[in-house]
Amino acid sequence: MNLLAKSLLTAALVMFAASAWAFNCPVVIKQAEDLIKKAETGKSNADTKPLLDEAKKQLAEAKSHHETAKTKKDHGDAVRKAKVAAAFAEEAIVLQSP
């Protein structure tokens, strides 16, 4: 199973357990931000650029969900999107290694 498939599976599992992490949004968002920064400092290539772009998009959506959250589900959505962003950033980091 490749890293992308594992990442998407993890994201799906997070979606079902989101209520348990409902108010961890800032922690998970910070982790995603840190991974994106790490990926940006690595050697970029044609494979990593789309992954970083998607990671940044998912992170922006996570922040938006968190800032406008009215229910636990909204916080769960923010956590899920932040974890997906982190997964894309992790994949970019893996693809940067020789």
In the block, which residue shows the tokens 């950033």?
89
Is residue 49 predicted with pLDDT exceeding 70? yes
Give pLDDT tens digits for 67-82: 999 999 999 999 999 9
Q: How far is CA 20 from CA 11, 13, 48, 65, 72, in A?
A: 14, 12, 32, 16, 9
Give pLDDT tens digits for 13-37: 665 554 454 468 999 999 999 999 9
Of 45 and 1, the structure prediction assigns the larger pLDDT to: 45
